[in-house]
Amino acid sequence: MLQRYFPILEWGRTYNREVLTSDLMAAVIVTIMLIPQSLAYAMLAGLPPVVGLYASILPLFAYALFGTSRTLAVGPVAVVSLMTASAAGAVAVPGTAEYWEAAVTLAALSGVMLVMLGLLRLGFLANLLSHPVISGFISASGVLIATSQLKHILGVKAGGETWPETLSGLAGSLGDINLATLAIGVPATLFLFWVRKGLKPALQRLGLSPRAADMTAKAGPVVAVAVTILAVIGFGLEARGVSVVGAIPSGLPPFALPSTDLALIQSLWVPALLISVIGFVESVSVAQTLAAKRRQRIAPDQELIGLGASNIASAFSGGYPVTGGFARSVVNFDAGAQTPAAGAFTAVGIALASLFLTPLLFHLPNATLAATIIVAVLSLVDFKTPRQLWAYSKADFAAHAATIAITLIAGVELGVIAGVAVGLLLYLWRASRPHAAIVGRVPGTEHFRNVERHTVLTLPHLLTIRVDESLTYLNARWLEEYVLELVAERPVLRHVVLMASAVNAIDASGLESLEAINHRLSDGGVKLHLSEVKGPVMDRLKRSHFLDDLSGRVFLSQDQAFADLVLDTGEEPGSADPMEARGLI
């Protein structure tokens, strides 16, 4: 029981010097990457940059204790930072103590929700967010975030919660562009784009091994930070209007308490729930992908507890909501991390940076942090998925497109809510119109296939319908109308067989419709039969009067039904060509 809730008791037993070396090396690489990212994401969340460091210390220790992924790197991420800014900005003014308190309260609420979901083993609730919805939300969030950071690249003041508002604000501020800021922001952005794609091949051409070149390239943002700080100092750019981070308090995270104001909690619980679900889905997707590469496994319900503990730790150390980050986790994996202890060592590195390095960041341009964010989030924008969804499923494309459009136009919270709503509505629509097919026997076999796809044997007096969905209140009336319409088109019909091989359940409404179909067919002199009914479904039918009132029989297989009913009709089966099937039956 203890090992289930404290996975450290499992991997800790086999911890040795070799694993320690691997974890320490990974921690060094991730720490170098995480310092500028933490500062940047805190700025994105509308918080002082140092809060990003606070959110990168205790949460990592908490995840090391409770998390099940060996390589997931927890901390501030772009999408959650944007959602935090949206939620906290709705209840307080950015830059105020109340705003920071709202962010801390969001982390606490999110943490409590995640822990409760984990204890109740409700990790499956994340399935409410389909892949098209998640992909659309993340892509739209990437566009929103990148657009919102352009004001720091241009050195202008422009606000806006939605994409149209942000674009309008930027357009109205083009005359106020600060050239010195632009001279910092544009080269920094271009350099970071080149670091992401071009530095590794360049280093390999110079003779570095692929692994060494990759690890060196990950430190690119640190180079951008150092060079732009020196540029600001050397050329006196702060006097020319270049905005800098300013004084960052040195020291370890302070002890903080989330608000107990019920009005504030009431305003934040829905955004906290959305942050929890989005953060969990993003985190568990990354964790499962990386675990599969090493043939490891994660426990989604325990992951909820691990992420919840991380967010609670973030709240009590003055941080804001955190989750597992894709880029950091991949770097952690590639750098050779073997256990969650690598995250704890990373936290030590961040703590040391908070104690000793923050004075060096006084002259760090906000444009450099904005460039770091832009380069990171644009990799989240997925241009392939819309084309693939359009070709594969127009319904899923509709959910994807609706999520993107509403997120851009109405904001992140309404975007994800709308995505879930559209996804559920499309699911209900599909479930209310299940696939059903008229089937016949494939000549020379015992198999039965759709008459519109195969050349099969059929009988004028026998109609076999295969239902490819469970019978529920959503589709029961549809099935009733479908069967009776087919029967009405066939005046010589004497037998109808419902092939139930794909029916996993029949609820009360489905049973009522089957009874109605049976009575209507009996009144018309047609017998209703069932075939290939699954055991659990048959068990439930036996608890009703349906089998006693059934005008026909229940056959073990469709082949047996076909053979017996051929003898009953005394007719020879005819061949139904796919193009003529409807007319021949």
pLDDT in tens, 101-138: 999 999 999 999 999 999 998 877 766 677 888 888 88
Q: What is the pLDDT of residue 569?
A: 58
Least Cα distance to 78 among 282, 235, 224, 254 occurs for 282
Scanning the structure block, which residue is given the tokens 């675990």? 291
Evaluate whether 507 touches 474 at the Cβ level (below 8 Å): no
Name the 3-class secondary structure at 122.
coil
CA-CA distances (angstroms) from residue 28 to 35, 69, 308, 376? 11, 19, 25, 20
Q: What is the pLDDT of residue 465?
A: 94
Evaluate whether 308 touches 115 at the Cβ level (below 8 Å): yes
Cα–Cα–Cα angle for 109, 113, 114, nearest 5°? 120
Quick one: how far is CA 145 from the chain centroid?
A: 18
Evaluate whether 61 touches 313 at the Cβ level (below 8 Å): yes
CA-CA distances (angstroms) from residue 469 to 110, 295, 466, 494? 37, 34, 9, 25
Residue intervals of the chain classified under CATH 3.30.750.24 are 436-584
Burial label for 567, CB within 10 Å (0-12, 13-18, 19+), is exposed
Q: What is the pLDDT of residue 583?
A: 37
Scanning the structure block, which residue is given the tokens 């608890």? 543
- Dist. CA 565–CA 562, nearest whole Å: 5
Q: Please tell me what DSSP assigns to residue 254.
A: P
Strands (E), 62-189: 74-75
- Dist. CA 352–CA 268, nearest whole Å: 33
Q: What is the pLDDT of residue 214?
A: 75
DSSP string, 335-354: TT--STHHHHHHHHHHHHHH
Evaluate whether 538 touches 505 at the Cβ level (below 8 Å): no
Token pair in block for residue 90 = 């709705």
411 membership: H or E segment, kind and range? none
Quick one: how far is CA 412 from the chain centroid?
A: 14
Strands (E), 421-505: 436-441, 448-450, 456-458, 462-467, 495-499
Task: Give me the torsion for CA of 368, 374, 376, 377, rounded to 10°.
Answer: 150
- Dist. CA 224–CA 188, nearest whole Å: 6
Burial label for 410, CB within 10 Å (0-12, 13-18, 19+), is middle
**Helices marked H in 357-502:** 366-378, 384-392, 394-410, 412-432, 476-488
Q: What is the pLDDT of residue 510?
A: 92
Name the 3-class secondary structure at 20.
helix
Least Cα distance to 150 among 413, 410, 379, 375 occurs for 375
Which residues of the chain carry a pLDDT beneath 50? Answer: 577-585
Q: What is the pLDDT of residue 585?
A: 35
Domain 436-584 has CATH 3.30.750.24: yes
Evaluate whether 231 touches 184 at the Cβ level (below 8 Å): yes
Evaluate whether 238 touches 178 at the Cβ level (below 8 Å): no
